[in-house]
Amino acid sequence: MNPERTRALALIEQTAREVADAIARGDLPELRFPLRSLANVRYEPGGGFALGPATKTRSLSAGGARSFAQALRMMTLSHQMLRDDDFASKREAYYVSKNWGDCRFESQPESDEIIDDLEALVSREGLVREHLGFFPEEHAGSVVGMLTVVDTDPETGETVEVDCRALGRGAYSIPRSVEHLSFRTDAKFVLAIETGGMFQRLHSHRFWRSSECVLVEMGGVPTRAVRRFVRRLADEHALPVYCFVDCDPYGIANIYRTLKVGSGNAAHVSAAFSVPTARFLGVTPQDILDFGLQDATHPLVDVDVKRAHDALEHDPFFAAHPAWSAALQQMLAMGVRAEQQALAKWGLNFVLQEYLPRKLAAPEAFLP
Amino acid sequence: MNPERTRALALIEQTAREVADAIARGDLPELRFPLRSLANVRYEPGGGFALGPATKTRSLSAGGARSFAQALRMMTLSHQMLRDDDFASKREAYYVSKNWGDCRFESQPESDEIIDDLEALVSREGLVREHLGFFPEEHAGSVVGMLTVVDTDPETGETVEVDCRALGRGAYSIPRSVEHLSFRTDAKFVLAIETGGMFQRLHSHRFWRSSECVLVEMGGVPTRAVRRFVRRLADEHALPVYCFVDCDPYGIANIYRTLKVGSGNAAHVSAAFSVPTARFLGVTPQDILDFGLQDATHPLVDVDVKRAHDALEHDPFFAAHPAWSAALQQMLAMGVRAEQQALAKWGLNFVLQEYLPRKLAAPEAFLP
């Protein structure tokens, strides 16, 4: 068992012991969880979103008995999974409860709520949901390039090495939890790409070989596993991370911002699931001018404009970076957005032969 | 260049020559494409949807000049890609046109329409869009198990072998076109799985090793690349294909039906992008009773009921199979649906230890 799982197990046992002790003393037992709401969230420019000190309590009162029991049951499930080296998706955890009699959850938001509370609890110790055995359901993204992923066969315990340069036109599909992986790499940087089409283009042309990099297909807003995977590469191998997405408010304020600082409604895990060193390679509004893409743009629609204004007015990340405010204002003034595939206007491989080399020659100019 | 690409190239050249000859003769040149509409679609119980004999014509008339020129331009792009061993997503092809002056497309549906016409044209020769160099954008799904994928490095031409048993907890991410792949396998069957969570569970517990199979994560309705990948395994290695999805009208009438007979609005390629030998392992409405899942179900909502009635009344696949009509009627009578994760009610690994072994002991009982 890895050290984080051992610590998670100890935390569950300690919490359970406190409940047992309270009962033995004749006190009403209670479980105290960090409060997960925007009111209890801080933005730390160097790091990302972080949880404040406020807490909420589940106690064994008349009104709270069921939810108290459910929390203990969920801790028991986590404890079993950690001992058995097993895991469950949040959806599966919900279904497991169907055999809990009166404690069963009626809907998944109820069970998710308790899993999120448990995660907030262990986040105080630098742990995340995956360390408790709860995995996300979503597909996690793909990787190729100058990287060897070191894993173990969960059945035989043998070491398994996946050479991400030796997958043909295929790719390494990131598992739903990446905590147990380690890496060997002599890459110079990580390029995190929004669309599968662009990923396949750069991969098929062996851009990772000529540029000595790792390519990551995010496929839209990056999942927890993708962010954690990239974060670990950035931290443990000191790799710069460059983000290559569409020039639109979604690419910037959703995809890039989530990669860089995490998700606003999961601030208790942003520290682990964000890549604070990430920089924005493009496509920038200025690129539309610099690379002559004006006639390959699309007008901003209402939802784009709303998203840009939301970012400018309500998102502490953009408020903290004048360069970003200026870029979003420029996009609004131009009234257009451009997809990364728009570069194909100058030929299918313009992106490989011109755009990326020119941009990568001056990473210090990337947006923060 | 593989034989299919060579044939595609020859077809384009022949079509272009006919246009040139017509012009040389002083005739109005025209391009004739198969008509892609439901009126020109047949369902063949043994195979799937197939295109009928009707055609439509694009000619160099006053009203049709632009679309005629666009079709020729798109054929030229395909021709270039085939010679250069390159490819484009439909989105990229649209953007390439931005440099075509008056021939440029104003919106992607226009360019998709022409690509689909070209595909329908070459489908008469058993070819598909991928053979023309046009790849889908979408993420294609993941694979693990008793399979070695044989590919070539597109840059060096070296043979690359990916052992899908040696990827740790990760997986092989299927590329967007699989025509160039070949396979080595001693698997007994292919299990095509709807959800990523279930795929990760079976993979982490090495179900593919104990059951000697290949696991495919479809992640919802299978993409063209997934269907083609599975089809090639079924055809070239005589592997039975079993489908494991949620027991709901979407899992049955969308995911499974698309895997088995193809997509109704792309009948011209169903022959290549379907798996006619696929069988439905589960979850069936009867499984809800046989495996005691009643209290882990959800009531059918309006969209479920509508989808089931649509399938029963309008889909020739279900009309052709009384066992399917009966199963859908049973679901409607029960008024509930069940997800594959609902099996977790009996423990996280009930699916591995009980459900799948019991089902796999009698594949002849699978729904058609």
Torsion over CA: A173, A177, A183, A187 (sign): positive
Query: What is the DSSP code string of A228-260?
Result: HHHHHHHHHH---EEEE--BSHIIIIIIIHHHH
Contact B342 A98 (CB under 8 A): yes
pLDDT at A219: 84
Min Cα separation B7/chain A (Å) = 22
Min Cα separation A278/chain B (Å) = 24
Q: Is A250 a catalytic residue?
A: no
Closest chain A residue by Cα to residue B340: A92
B153 contacts on A by Cβ (under 8 Å): 168, 206
Neighbours of A335 (CB within 10 A): 11
Q: A190-225, pLDDT tens digit by residue?
A: 999 999 889 999 999 999 999 999 999 998 889 989
Contact A345 B180 (CB under 8 A): no
pLDDT at B242: 98
User: Across residues B224-251, what is the average pLDDT?
Assistant: 96
Neighbours of A44 (CB within 10 A): 14
Asked whether residue B265 carries a pLDDT value surpassing 90, the answer given is no
pLDDT at B1: 64
User: Across residues A31-59, what is the average pLDDT?
Assistant: 77
Query: What is the DSSP code string of A276-315?
Result: TT-EEEE--HHHHHHTT-GGG-EE--HHHHHHHHHHHHH-
| pLDDT band per the 50, 70, 90 thresholds, residue B323 | very high
Radius of gyration of chain B (CA): 23
Min Cα separation A156/chain B (Å) = 10
pLDDT at A164: 98
Query: Pairing state of beta strands B147-152 and B159-163?
Result: antiparallel
Q: Which amino acid is at B189?
A: F
Best CA proximity match to A227, nearest among A185, A300, A277: A277
Contact A162 B170 (CB under 8 A): yes
Smallest Cβ–Cβ distance between A195 and the set B87, B137, B168 belongs to: B137
User: Across residues B93-105, what is the average pLDDT?
Assistant: 91
Cα separation, B230 vs B259, whole angstroms: 9
Asked whether residue B184 carries a pLDDT value surpassing 80, the answer given is yes
Residues in chain A: 368
Q: A75-130, pLDDT tens digit by residue?
A: 999 999 999 888 998 889 999 999 999 899 999 999 999 999 998 888 888 888 88
Cα separation, A262 vs A264, whole angstroms: 7
The percent of residues in chain A predicted with pLDDT above 90, rounded, is 68
Min Cα separation A219/chain B (Å) = 8
Radius of gyration of chain A (CA): 23
Give the CB-side neighbour count of residue B324, counting CA atoms within 13 A. Answer: 24
Contact A344 B88 (CB under 8 A): yes
| 3-class state of residue A158 by DSSP | coil
pLDDT at B139: 72
pLDDT at B339: 93
The answer to whether residues A168 and A206 touch, using CB atoms and an 8 Å cutoff, is: no
Residue bearing the bigger pLDDT, A230 or A273: A230
pLDDT at A36: 79
The percent of residues in chain B predicted with pLDDT above 70, rounded, is 96
pLDDT at B41: 72
Asked whether residue B50 carries a pLDDT value surpassing 90, the answer given is no
pLDDT at A110: 92
Any residues with CB less than 8 A from the CB of B139 and at least 6 apart, and which?
A139, A142, A196, A217, A219, B173, B219, B223
Cα separation, A25 vs A20, whole angstroms: 9
| pLDDT band per the 50, 70, 90 thresholds, residue A55 | confident
Q: Which amino acid is at B358?
A: R
Neighbours of A5 (CB within 10 A): 20
Asked whether residue A73 carries a pLDDT value surpassing 70, the answer given is yes
Check if the interface score ipTM surpasses 0.85.
Answer: yes
Asked whether residue B327 carries a pLDDT value surpassing 70, the answer given is yes
Best CA proximity match to B360, nearest among B250, B255, B274, B244: B244
pLDDT, averaged across chain A: 91
The percent of residues in chain B predicted with pLDDT above 90, rounded, is 67
A295 contacts on B by Cβ (under 8 Å): 98, 104
Contact B95 A342 (CB under 8 A): yes
Closest chain B residue by Cα to residue A150: B168
Torsion over CA: A66, A68, A74, A77 (sign): negative
Give the number of A-B residue pairs with CB atoms closer than 8 Å: 188
Closest chain A residue by Cα to residue B100: A345
| 3-class state of residue B138 by DSSP | coil
Closest chain A residue by Cα to residue B342: A95
pLDDT at A47: 60
Q: What is the pTM of this model?
A: 0.89
Any residues with CB less than 8 A from the CB of B34 and at least 6 apart, and which?
B40, B51, B53, B54, B55, B56, B120, B121, B123, B124, B268
The answer to whether residues B173 and B216 touch, using CB atoms and an 8 Å cutoff, is: no
